A and B are shown apart, each in its own frame.
Chain A
Amino acid sequence: MKRIALTAIAAAALLSGGMADAESPRGIMRGTGDLGIVIERAAGRVVVVETSTPSRLYTIDGLGDLSHASAVFSRDGRFAYVFGRDGGLSKLDLLRGEIAKRVVQAGNSIGGAISQDGRVVAVSNYEPGGVRLFDAADLEPLAEIAATAVDGKRSKVVGLVDAPDSKLAFALYDAGEIWTADITDPRAPRVSRHRDIGRLPYDGMITPDGRHYVAGLFGEDGAALLDLWRPEAGVRRILDGYGRGEEPLPVYKMPHLEGWASVGDLAFLPAVGRHEVLVVSMSDWREVARIPVHGQPVFVVARPDGRQVWVNFAHPRNDTVQVIDVPSRSIVATLKPGPAVLHLEFTPRGEQVWLSVRDADRIDVYDTRRLERSASIPADKPSGIFFTARAGRIGY
């Protein structure tokens, strides 16, 4: 046993191309609650990381074009499903450190979701636009939902999330619609569509209780809200005209709504084309404040306890991260981790936040109480960071 482990380390060290000193042995018996993955987008590779130490464990290669890649987890936290730009859907075994199964399912995908019961993985596609459903166990195809607008054209699908009672929700970018799909029978999904929600929805999110689906609009100042408890009431426009008619700035990177921070009754979200974070009350969905920030926000994410909200920014201001103190709604720290901070992810209880600093080829780990860097981990052009705690959350 010992000899096998040592051989594995030696082999891994040879293969790892110098990014890490040595890879950890694979396949050891352990839990996955402190594991996660980091996307090395240019290399088409994923690093399995562990947050307790914190450290890299090993890399998994051969995942294709991972620009904009995202991931969801099996409910036991052992497998990650990675959605690649080239339509690749890969199921990774975090314990064995290998690809359990990989299929290339469409020309151009963007994200995905896992169903409430963990049995179905859904992938949203740009080209041809729609959602495909796969069996989470073996990635066999189950059904396809073609996102066809009224005029018969296929639309890109954005903001795909799972919702309670075996549903999915997503938005049609070109057509300006929100759809929900009941996937109780995943071979025969039942779709409900909501039209005329506004121009160019660019992403969507669901509130942590799974009740409200919100699609951010790119083509207009505002967002579209669907109450999944009362779908018959239809889609409501919120934050209408938050730009107050001012010219928006050019948007060099699309904001993301994954992890729109919601804290108590408040939601914190990025203003498109503005150097502002909007604060909305989730009881009546009205704007209660706007916080001026360093640049155009991309990810606006709350620490799991809701005390802080961390924000990163679009090119060319993406070397900075700001921390908002929620009770006072003021900026308490402006950090400069390094060039191109692309993503951030909190550990399950929020004592650490991991930042991918792409152009420094590094992951920085910050202590969220001291607001200081506590560790750095080498990574090749890192982008998305995803921890297994997502396995237990709606909308992740």
Chain B
Amino acid sequence: MRRASWLPEAALALALIAAAAPGAAGELPAQRQAELRHLLDHDCGSCHGLTRRGGLGPALSATALGDRDDDFLIDTILLGRRGTPMAPWGSELSRDDARWLVDRMRGR
């Protein structure tokens, strides 16, 4: 049985880190932004669609994401969703990276 609830400690720890280092997003170096853009289009895109209109994973457009909390989405990217194909990307993405991705999805 793979499904288990998310380790609350991990979520809490990340939340604390986030609170301690408030939003440096938007200031990512151009090189990193280009890497993230590529990751979003192609690697996230393999499940969410190249244009993010959905696939095996749900659509990730401003409309589709609606009023979901940014931090909730950032946690989804970093921690994944256990028991679903959405994997934790925290080993290769920082919280600022994930925030930058959410901003792109929301068209900000």
Residues of chain A whose beta carbon lies under 8 Å from any beta carbon of chain B: 41-42, 65-68, 85-86, 107-108, 110, 126-127, 156, 158, 173, 200, 202, 218-221, 248, 250-254, 315-316, 340, 358-359, 381
Q: Is the CB of B55 within 8 A of A85?
A: yes
Q: Is the CB of A254 within 8 A of B47?
A: yes
In terms of DSSP, what is the predominant structure of the interface of chain B? loop
Closest residue of chain A to B92, judged by CB?
A: A316
Closest residue of chain B to A253, judged by CB?
A: B46
Given A67-B55, A85-B50, A202-B56, 20 more A-B residue pairs with CB atoms under 8 Å apart are A65-B51, A67-B49, A68-B55, A85-B49, A85-B53, A86-B51, A86-B53, A107-B53, A110-B55, A156-B56, A250-B80, A250-B88, A250-B89, A251-B87, A252-B43, A252-B87, A254-B47, A254-B56, A340-B42, A381-B42
How many CB-defined contacts (below 8 Å) exist between A and B? 72
Q: In the complex the two chains form, what is the Cα distance from A156 to B91 in whole Å?
A: 30
- Given A250-B80, A250-B87, A250-B88, A219–B3 Cβ distance below 8 Å? yes
Which residues in A have their C-beta under 8 angstroms from that of B92? 316
Which residues in B have their C-beta under 8 angstroms from that of A221? 2
Q: Is the CB of B55 within 8 A of A251?
A: no
Q: Report B57-108 residues with CB < 8 Å from chain A CB.
A: 80, 83-85, 87-89, 91-92
25 contacts between A and B (CB under 8 A): A41-B50, A42-B41, A65-B49, A65-B51, A66-B50, A67-B49, A67-B50, A68-B49, A85-B50, A86-B51, A107-B53, A218-B85, A219-B2, A220-B1, A220-B2, A221-B2, A248-B2, A250-B80, A250-B88, A251-B87, A252-B43, A254-B85, A316-B92, A340-B42, A381-B42
